[in-house]
Structure 1
Amino acid sequence: MTRSRSAHLVRAEGAPCPTLVVDAGLLPDGDEGVLEGLARTRGALDTDTRRTVLKNAVVRPSGHPLFDLDYYFVQTLPGASERFDTHGSCGHSILAAVEAAARDGMIPPLEPGRRVRVNVLNNGDHVVCEVDETAPGRTRFTAHFLCTPARPVGDLLITGEPVTTVQVDGRQVPVSLVDMGNPYVFVGAGDLGVRDVRELFAAGDDLFVQLGRVRLAVCGRMGWDPSGAFPKIAALLPAPDGELAVRAVSVPSWHPTLALTGAICLGTAVGIEDTLPWQLARAAGHESGLVRLRTPGGSLRVRARLTGPADTPRLGWVSVADKYVSYGSTVAFPPDSFGTSVPSRPEDTSCLSLPL
């Protein structure tokens, strides 16, 4: 079967923008080749789409016997000329990629009960996308992020401690640095002068700038490039009825809800004793089990599965339920936009790989 010279725009509800999903077989080989090919692909988009769609997923059928789909996430950084960041992942884009891959015939059609196993090449994550419900143009998933083998929760603390202080504008601000799905900086909104959940969700530029300064301080302390898309940052407050309120920053503005990887990371952090998320969740009345997260765009349910002794727990997996994906459109491109000849899709993909 000959590959079509097209890509797909797919939106996972709660994401800040749709994801452009591209067949890896249409792009040149190697890390630089993929990014150059993706740049040409994006160059064929209309100006408005190129400006607003900042998430890209490059996918192909996996040659690994444990997986169905290889996935490579590329974040577009806004600016006068587009730049790319490949250091993290995006859970919403994983779900979008599964939807597009099924439409392209890379994986079997989606139906309730089907589980699609995704190999995230950026960071080695293993994600199982379980189909709960299908409807024309729309699919409901539960996303399971697996730790294989189970990881000691202490290893998820970037600094090795549950709370780290950074100096911001001459004062010490406590943060928790956790890496699960993506690296995140969690800060108590109360430490930034926010009094309640309503104020947190209504906050504008002042809080946004404060969070940016906290993130810069963390990058400076850790020796990270502050111009990249990672780490992400989110402000937290206890909410009524055992919920934890969260307001997160995306690229390049407030996130309308919370990134799926953010939910995974925060749900994990709530289970790690003495982190800020652990402290604030307990201040809200949460004790254990399912974590309910309240965002400006709705609520999320997250469950982290911890195993082993209480004094040395390990993370087995984290699940987020009720994630909806809506198909947008097929994007056709001029014949030379991909910059490579397009062969027929091979039956055996075991020798094909994306950049690691």
Structure 2
Amino acid sequence: MIGHLAYAAGSPCPTLVLDAGRLPRDEEALLRALSEVRAYLTAAGGGHVLKTALVRPSEHPMFDLDYRFVQALPQAPDSFDLRGSCGHSILSAVVAAERAGTLPKLTPGDRIRVNVLNNGDSVVCEVDGTDRDELHFTVYFVRPGSVPLKELLLTGAPRTELAAGAGTGTGTAGCEVSLVSSGNAYAFVDARDLGVGDPGELFAAGPELFERLAALREAAAGLLGWPARGAFPKIAAVLPVASSLIAARALSVPSWHPTIALTGAVCLGTAAQIPGTVPWRVAQETGHVDGLLDIVTPGGRTAVTAAIDPADGEPALMWAAVARKRVTFQGSFVLEPLAHLQFEGIAKCLALSAVSI
């Protein structure tokens, strides 16, 4: 079986893209196969590749690709989380699908519609430009119908108090977070509640702040009934900076995120539109009202637009977009542990050709 590697700028690692049509549909068998792949990559020096995208031509007539994201977890070689999605990996999957011939050659203006099987998201990847090994995109997370903003609150409230770190010395007991789901599920916390008062301090913070955020993330997962040591919900600390500019620092797996996840930018931009949430209060301090929100991270800046439908007096999210995303195709290689799956595909093809003679 052929594996493809692509890297979306700002992601913690490249994404391994595999043809879902050649993999088992049964989840237990699929995870066994992915465990073999992970061991193979690690032995070859690719242990840092913790993101896998499974793609195939969509079975739905409204989409080009069906996409499933798998996050490898650090605690064990056979440990994975299939609960959420990854925007950077979606873009990597689109680029790899073009190189594999699943999609036609992409040109500026093309739009690839991706059906995210993990959470039902609809994502449109619009090609802004192409290079030899790079493509540039604007990414739209499109709702099939406007979704009332209040329905994006995972606890039904704009802020929720978490009792993480009680008795552990982490100092996070009684900290308020906003649990919002848009693109991915996130817990947002005001960095000032953790004793961090400015962006420079936030970006320079080390293990102590990391552990405090990790404790809050685990508490949020427990509250939602999700695995405490999984990847979701994700978490980010935010601060006001300047006019419509906020600072954010997020956790990834298994360390700090170098920038912010594409889905994190989408979720943050959406949360900033929901009155009473932590991001909304922080954004209000910068004078932000609606439209474009700028986000500064340790690895640079990004911008997100969340389009809100105010119809019927019930604000609702229509779509959110992040522009200027760059993806580099890094190459293809044979995955020896899954070679038998390639042979099965060849055998089926030969069997069909024999019948047609």
- How does the TM-score come out when normalised to structure 2? 0.91
Q: Secondary structure at the match of 1:224?
A: coil
Greater RCO (CA < 8 Å, at least 6 residues apart):
1
Provide Cα deviations, 1:7-43, integer angstroms capped at 9, x if missing partner: 1110000000000000112212322232222222333
Which whole-Å CA distance do the structure 1 matches of 2:27 and 2:224 have between them?
26
Which whole-Å CA distance do the structure 1 matches of 2:117 and 2:164 have between them?
35
Q: Secondary structure at the match of 1:109?
A: coil
- How does the TM-score come out when normalised to structure 1? 0.92
2:207 aligns to what? 205
Aligned pair in 2 of structure 1 residues 346, 140: CA closer, same or farther (>3 Å)? Answer: farther
- Report 1:108-187 matches (<5 A): 108-170=104-166, 171-187=173-189
* Cα distance, 1:236 vs structure 2: 0.3
2:3 aligns to what? 7
- Report 1:6-45 matches (<5 A): 6-45=2-41
* Cα distance, 1:344 vs structure 2: 5.2
Which whole-Å CA distance do the structure 2 matches of 1:321 and 1:109 have between them?
21
Which whole-Å CA distance do the structure 2 matches of 1:14 and 1:27 have between them?
29
2:254 aligns to what? 252
Question: Which has the higher mean CA deviation after the structures are superposed, 87-96 or 167-176?
Answer: 167-176
Which whole-Å CA distance do the structure 1 matches of 2:164 and 2:74 have between them?
26
Q: Is the 8 A contact 2:36 2:337 kept in 1?
A: no
Which whole-Å CA distance do the structure 2 matches of 1:42 and 1:295 have between them?
30
Question: Which has the higher mean CA deviation after the structures are superposed, 95-104 or 324-333?
Answer: 324-333
Number of matched pairs:
343
* Cα distance, 1:287 vs structure 2: 1.9
Aligned pair in 2 of structure 1 residues 345, 248: CA closer, same or farther (>3 Å)? Answer: farther
Question: Which has the higher mean CA deviation after the structures are superposed, 257-266 or 236-245?
Answer: 236-245
Provide Cα deviations, 1:64-116, integer angstroms capped at 9, x if missing partner: 11000010100001134331110000000000000000011111111100000
Aligned pair in 2 of structure 1 residues 48, 230: CA closer, same or farther (>3 Å)? Answer: farther
1:196 aligns to what? 198
Provide Cα deviations, 1:131-174, integer angstroms capped at 9, x if missing partner: 00101100100000011111111100011111111123444211
Runs ≥4 in structure 1, deviation > 6 angstroms?
none
1:289 aligns to what? 291
2:298 equivalent to 1:266: no
Q: Secondary structure at the match of 1:321?
A: strand
2:242 aligns to what? 240
Question: Which has the higher mean CA deviation after the structures are superposed, 210-219 or 9-18?
Answer: 210-219
Q: Is the 8 A contact 2:294 2:301 kept in 1?
A: yes
Aligned pair in 2 of structure 1 residues 209, 109: CA closer, same or farther (>3 Å)? Answer: same
2:86 aligns to what? 90
2:49 equivalent to 1:53: yes
Aligned pair in 2 of structure 1 residues 346, 263: CA closer, same or farther (>3 Å)? Answer: farther
Which whole-Å CA distance do the structure 1 matches of 2:150 and 2:280 have between them?
14
Which whole-Å CA distance do the structure 2 matches of 1:216 and 1:311 have between them?
36
Which whole-Å CA distance do the structure 2 matches of 1:346 and 1:313 have between them?
52
Q: Secondary structure at the match of 2:30?
A: helix
Which whole-Å CA distance do the structure 1 matches of 2:183 and 2:7 have between them?
20
Q: Secondary structure at the match of 1:107?
A: coil
Aligned pair in 2 of structure 1 residues 48, 335: CA closer, same or farther (>3 Å)? Answer: closer
Counterpart code for 1:37? A
Counterpart code for 2:301? S
Q: Is the 8 A contact 1:44 1:337 kept in 2?
A: no
Aligned pair in 2 of structure 1 residues 169, 32: CA closer, same or farther (>3 Å)? Answer: closer
Which whole-Å CA distance do the structure 2 matches of 1:176 and 1:264 have between them?
15
Aligned pair in 2 of structure 1 residues 279, 163: CA closer, same or farther (>3 Å)? Answer: same
Which whole-Å CA distance do the structure 1 matches of 2:317 and 2:239 have between them?
24
Greater helix content: 2
2:319 equivalent to 1:323: no
2:352 aligns to what? none
Which whole-Å CA distance do the structure 1 matches of 2:193 and 2:57 have between them?
46
